[in-house]
Amino acid sequence: MAHSGSVKRSQDILACGLCETDAKIKVKCMDCDLYMCQKCTEKVHAKFKHADLHDIVALKDIHSHIDANSEFEPVKCKDHRKQLCCMVCLTCELLVCPKCIAKTHRSHLMEEIQTACQQKVEEMKKMQDQVHIKIEKFIGKINLMAEIEKSKSNEIEQKILEEEKQAREVQSKCLWLLKEHKEGAHRHAEQISKQESELLEKEKDIEMVRQHVENMQKSKNAEMFFGAVKSLQTKLESIDQSVSPGSFNIKSQQYVPNYKIQTNSKMVEIEIQFEIKSKYEMNIFSINSITSDKDGNIWIADGCKEIQQLQVKEGLKTLKSHTNFRGYPEIRCLNKSVLLTSFHQICQLAANDESTVFKDLSPNLPYTLHVSDNEIIVGMNCASAYDKVETPIIVRLGFDGEIIQVYKNRGRQLLTRDAVRCCTTINDDDICYIDSNFQRDLKGDVVLINKHGIIQWKYRGNSFINSNEHFFTPVEVLRTKSNNLIISDKKQHALHVVTAKGELMTILDLTLMGLEEPGVMTIDVSGTLWIESKELNKGILSHVIFSGF
């Protein structure tokens, strides 16, 4: 038909479907599904084939021609009580009558009531499907967290049972020792009693000899008297030696405890809270490093060799910006200055914006930094090192730049991959760091070594979310005030929280809060956590309040 290309579809300004210029709609042809002005009705539509058989309805009477399948009854206009609503104004989201259209809504987007309702139903169905999918995902993630807690519960139960087993073994051993002690004490008492009886018998014998001496004295027989005296003297000397020995032997029992009984064991329920207070969309390529200063400002280094100082006040305000740095610098604040890695060097950016070389570590490549209360920890990029055994992987520096200690990768135990991606300290002397692939897949482990470079533990992720297919991708490790560790797992969109002993406390799935791919992090002077991540493929810097770990 000649008019088919000019028919106005839904969500257009209501105008004549034939001339497409006149907005003074008078009628609708129910057969052609066209709104028409008076002129086109008489001059154009009348020439259509069988036009005289078409159902032409005045705009004010459209409500009486509602489709038989419609579930909606005519609605009186709130502003014009004698009029019935015939359209939906999509611009104002109101039901309108012909007078409303003519007076107020002429240039607005219009739709038929039935069509608009059908569209709303479809929108609600789509929204319901989306909500259903989100609910299923949320339930899945909640169930995963429940499985993790169940696994931890089983581990705790096994530890308690092991301790109970040890306690039973100690109890059994103590009962055996008690029995042994009683038997020994009984033998000792019998021995003392025997010695006492022997001495008493000797004393009786002496008394008998003494009586014999007295009798001999009374008999006036000198020879027999002196014989009896000699016999008495011999017995007395013998007994005197036995009761006045030069040495003394006695068996004495002693208890030597050699069992550690965990009398202080207890169950502690920790309430972990994690709340995103603010999200800031970042207009930069990527954040390569982040740190904070003593004034509460945030410093970031992006992938375009630029360093920015940001002030946090309602939003993020750039205070300073520095460019032309080589490589992708790692930045850390030291007093009023900023330390940054730059190929073979660690540079220092002073408060007056002057940059100097703090320490040249050639031919090594410093890759990550950590500033503690009394020293600087430097982690190396060993990806291009020819000899990865003798190459230093971690160096301790004083605040004057002097080397305190060097850790080499002898036996390739401390570093099994390419680089120390991030590091921090626990209990001052222990160093926790990420043993990571440099530019490939970010696969890595978290390692803790003591002051002497001996590995205390390795954390390789958790089997509930990490596997050969979904491997552990740690990017940053931070120590909290409670001496626990927060680890960002970029590819699995999660934060792992572990204790200083490398034991898992919990895993936080950031997708539940709309965040993906958590990367570099820092904790500012107020204890607030800052996380670089993605949300709908946009770079996001999140301001997070946490407690419990």
pLDDT in tens, 296-329: 999 999 866 689 999 988 788 989 888 866 677 8
- 69 φ/ψ angles, rounded to the nearest 5 degrees: -85, -5
Q: Rounded distance, CA 257 to CA 450, Å?
A: 31
Rounded CA-CA distance 332/543 in Å is 19
**336, two tokens:** 């009023």
Give CA–CA dist 133/141, Å, rounded.
Answer: 12
Q: Does position 285 have pLDDT exceeding 70, yes or no?
A: no
Give the model's pLDDT for residue 246: 53
pLDDT at 6: 33
Is there a contact between 482 and 527 (Cβ–Cβ < 8 Å)? no
pLDDT above 90 covers a percentage of the chain that reads 36
Instruction: Summarize pLDDT for 391-433 with one digit per residue, the tens.
Output: 899 999 999 999 999 999 988 889 999 999 999 999 878 999 9
Residue 527 confidence (pLDDT) above 70: yes
* Rounded distance between C-alpha atoms, residue 51 and residue 73, angstroms: 29
Contact status, residue 429 vs residue 450, Cβ threshold 8 Å: yes
- Sorted by sequence, the CB contacts under 8 Å of residue 83 that are 6+ apart come out as 60, 76, 77, 97, 98, 99, 100
Residue 315 is inside which H or E element, if any? Answer: strand 315-322
Fold (topology level) of 288-515: Neuraminidase (2.120.10)
> Strand pairing partners for 54?
none
Q: When comparing pLDDT for 208 and 77, which is higher?
A: 77
Quick one: CA torsion of 160, 165, 168, 174, rounded to 10 degrees? -110
User: Across-strand partners of 326?
Assistant: none
Reduced DSSP (H G I as helix, E B as strand, rest coil) percent helix, strand, coil of the chain, to 5: 30, 30, 40
226 vs 178, residue with greater confidence: 178
Q: Where are the domains of the chain?
A: 4-107, 120-242, 288-515
Q: Max CA-CA distance within the chain? A: 183
Phi, psi of 474 (to 5 degrees): -70, 135
- Cα 507 to Cα 95: distance, rounded to the nearest angstrom: 51
